[in-house]
Structure 1
Amino acid sequence: MSPRTAPAGRPATAPVPECLLAEATVLTDSLIPLVNRFRTRQADDGTVPDPRPEDRELLARIRDEGAAWYRRHALDGQAEALEADVAGWLAAGLDSRPHFGRSRDALAAPADGETTFFLAPVQTTNSAPPVGKRLDCFFALRKEPDALPVLAESFPHPKNNCQSLVLLAGSAGFAHGNCIVFFPENVAAHDKVTEQPYAMFFFNKMRKIHETYALPAAAAVLTPDTLPRASSGLDPDVCFEARAIWGYLHDAMHYQGLWPFDEHIALKMNWFVGLLEEIKVDAKTVLACADSGLVPYAAEQIAMILLERVFRYPQADDATGNFDSGTGVFLYAWFREHGALTGDPAGGGLLRLAPDRAVEALRAYVTTVEKLEAEVTTDAEYRARAKELVRRHLPAPETDRDASGRRLRYAFTADQEVLRRAKGGLDRLPPLEFARAEW
């Protein structure tokens, strides 16, 4: 099949209904500008330094308009939670950290084909700076992959709690930059989340992110003839389907094996253990695509996973402390060691990617990690062995923190620095903006 269109006999994803686009336009013209004004007054921890009377008035207006929207759509519980959270913050003072646990807990995952709206101070990971617990909102449509019902028969997920969404409208934290995730633990609150009743992913943002950052980052490193191209130039709905299937398979793989994520959450949150876990579940996703013959858009997913993880993630400003960046640099080193990335005999400093060797390197990686998991018997032993394996490819930094106080986890080797060739040019690009459905 052509990588740019849906396969024969498979209908393209239905367009977003005009009534929802109209609702998105209303929010974009009314409530969202107010939220964007307020969030500029906040510090990274969500507080409003030296709050003024007009800050209180603006928040009260946002509360009233947000609650009215909720009630117009029969979401009274969310309206009441928003009102209570704002009342508590106003009473404590806007220079105190916000606590929106009621809003967080009142939100329920939408059913497939339904919309969701949320308003609260939220950490919008990978968004355009400034990023912090700032007031944000989003309006989105849940759209699960067309292939999911059949796919789930071959790749069952025992505790699937993820939602694939189309972002229809949002304030700056969601509409600008690369944030594609929303979890309950992202909401500013004084108490910690003990369970995750929803995990939302704005997968319609992926096409623009992938084309803007991942492909140029890889093109700066790889020879043109070995640059994976199956994930480039995709129809938006095909890209959405492929990315959503990747998300489903990735999450399903977390719940397999001897140390499933849900039974060992605290252990898997360890930086070294978690790094190996994230690579493992993506590696198993690639193997499912390569081996089974059952996964739609298999070539597109393999290309997307390799380009995103190995080449885009290491571009982060805080790459040497960033978890996702660490997975990409580790995987680059693993591919180098296993002959999947080699120097180009023609010279010029570019590398050649051998797709078949990359798949076999990922197979070897899964075998290595699962062997480790079979040999350890305690959390402490797992953490020690994980750190030992990670350190073979990610050397320890000379200091624990950089000049700005950010935690450092590893240092780039001279060979790994090649991954950052495109960073200067990518940094000069304006933050991505997503208007309406971007569909």
Structure 2
Amino acid sequence: MSTGRFLPHPAPVSAEVRSQADALTASLIPMVNRFRARQQDDGTLAAPTAEDGALLGRIRDEAEAWYRANGLAGQADALVADVDAWLAAGLGARPHFARSRDALRVPADGEVVFFLAPLQSTNSAPPVGKRLDCFLALRKEPAALAAMAGDFPHPKNNCQSLVLVTGSAGFTLGSCLVFFPENVAAHDKVTDQQYAMFFYNKMRRIHETYALPAAEAVLTPDSLPHASTGLAADVCFEARAIWGYLHDSMHYQGLWPFDENISLKMNWFVGLLEEIKVDAKTVLACADSVLVPFADEQIDMILLERVFRYPQAEDATRNFDSGTGVFLYSWFREHGALVGSPADGGLLRLDRVRALEALRAFVTTVEKLEAEVTDEDGYRAAAKELVRRYLPEGEPKQRYSFTADQLVLRRAKSRLDRLPPLDFTRAQW
């Protein structure tokens, strides 16, 4: 429950930061958008021209000047080296921006961060691929985090809560919430994740535009979770950021912690159970402890996002997050947390108490599985067996198929697909 002692800080985007954003929006960002429109999904340009090279050179020079003016010589040097190497190889070659990726340093709380490189802006408006993008953001950690962290410690916290101030199309159009080093176009693979950035000020509009209507198409009005809607922007930011902190901390607990079993947890079936487990444990922490701020807001946000928004993805039967939502929907159905009645006109009723009980049962089930398996092969086999009880085999190249009952989750999809992409060109604060 929200209380006065958890009130967030005032809006953090200063006039100076907004002035920087205005300058970038007027000059560099339009050039980045023009260049990315010329790229293919792998980052290459088909039949690149001299004008393409000249445009990239201007982008390099302006971004380099910004980096140096703000004391970021390491990022400036890396960008110049990466762009020049790409120009030398030809823009028909796939970009390799590992130097820029590795030169980025995590900003302190209250500091801005700027980054430019070809990268995958997950869930942004199409086209999505390894296209040139940039963002200016401000790091803002939840006001309640310092006090809460003592009761909910995170052994290896490497996540940053950000306010997106401005950026190119990959970050300002659509629902891209995240930026990881592995998103950057590069020939090598990331072996040590140095940062994980989340643009949580985008959450309120994403949540209310997509998650809420998707749930309204399935649930009776009186059982629809509502604590996470209609929130002030700063409250929604704080609630989502604390959810992110708790979620990530849960990955590092238990018998098979994520950081010690990365390759195992990247398995599709194992990872699906892992994601549901850590969100379930986050919900239970909110339900069981008075020390978690914005607990009701987080519970409802997680339920609406995980069960109802994620399955709306166009590639839902290949999409990892969609799979978690569809699985959890059927788990709730089996455990009496989602029930139908002729009197409800085809809608389902969400029983909140039984939903919490179902999440406890899920955590118990997965932790029992983890205790019984003795090696990675056994874990993968047991995880696949459990997942397949709720997500049946799909067509070739699909991870699963929807059952007739699960298709209820897609009732609102055609209507949601007709909506224009959300536009975050200006800071949403």
Quick check: 1:169–1:437 contact (8 Å CA) kept in 2? yes
Distance 1:246 1:260 in 2: 19
Aligned pair 1:353/2:343, yes or no? no
Q: Could you give the per-residue CA deviations for residues 210-245 of structure 1, whole angstroms, max 9, x where no partner exists?
A: 000000000000000000000000000000000000
Kept in 2, the 8 Å contact 1:21–1:436? The answer is no
Report the AA paired with residue 4 of structure 2: A
State the Cα distance separating 1:19 from its structure 2 match: 1.1
TM-score, length basis structure 1: 0.97
C-alpha contact 2:133 2:170 (8 A) present in aligned 1: yes
Deviation at 1:400, TM superposition (A): 1.5
Instruction: Note the 1:331-410 alignment, pairs <5 A.
Output: 331-397=328-394, 399-401=395-397, 408-410=398-400
Instruction: Note if contact 2:220-2:344 (Cα within 8 Å) is conserved in structure 1.
Output: no
Q: TM-score, normalised by structure 2?
A: 0.99
Amino acid in structure 2 at the alignment position of 1:117: F
- Equivalent position of 1:192 in the other structure: 189
- Note the C-alpha offset of 1:7: 3.0
Say yes or no: does 1:78 pair with 2:75: yes
Question: Shift of residue 139 of structure 1?
Answer: 0.3
User: Aligned residue for 1:428?
Assistant: 418
CA positional deviation for 1:425: 0.3
Structure 1: distance between partners of 2:425 and 2:29? 12
Counting only pairs closer than 5 Å after superposition, residues 170-181 of structure 1 correspond to structure 2 as 170-181=167-178
Q: Is the 8 A contact 2:6 2:144 kept in 1?
A: no
- Decide whether the 8 Å contact of 1:25 with 1:436 is kept in 2: no
Report the Cα distance in structure 1 between the residues aligned to 2:37 and 2:155, rounded to whole angstroms. 42
Task: Give the aligned partner of residue 226 of structure 1.
Answer: 223
- Could you say which residue in structure 2 is the equivalent of 1:89? 86
Q: Distance in 1 between matches of 2:399 and 2:122?
A: 19
* C-alpha distance in 1 between matches for 2:140 and 2:344: 46
| Count of residues in correspondence between the two structures | 428
Give the Å deviation of 1:318: 0.2
Counterparts of 2:250 and 2:295, CA distance in 1: 16
Query: SS in structure 1 opposite 2:174?
Result: coil
Is 2:265 the counterpart of 1:265? Answer: no
Q: Shift of the alpha carbon at 1:10?
A: 4.2
Partner residue in 1 for 2:9: 13
Residue of structure 1 in register with 2:304 after alignment: 307
Using the aligned pairs only, state the percent identity. 74
Q: Given the superposition, is the C-alpha separation of residues 10 and 301 from structure 1 closer, same or farther in structure 2, using an over 3 Å criterion?
A: closer
C-alpha separation in 2, matches of 1:347 and 1:422: 18
Q: Which runs of 5+ in 2 are unaligned?
A: none
Conserved? CA contact 2:8–2:144, under 8 Å = no
**Cα RMSD for the two superposed structures:** 0.8
Q: Secondary structure at the match of 1:221?
A: coil
Which aligned segments of 4 or more residues in structure 1 are displaced greater than 3 angstroms? 9-12
| One-letter amino acid of the counterpart of residue 423, structure 1 | K
Q: Point out where structure 1 has 5 or more consecutive residues left out of the alignment.
A: 402-407
Alignment of 1:312-331 (within 5 A): 312-331=309-328
SS in 1 for 2:119: strand
* 1:12 Cα deviation from its structure 2 partner: 3.5
CA contact under 8 A between 1:145 and 1:245: conserved in structure 2? yes
1:60 is matched with which residue? 57
Q: CA deviation at 1:345?
A: 4.0
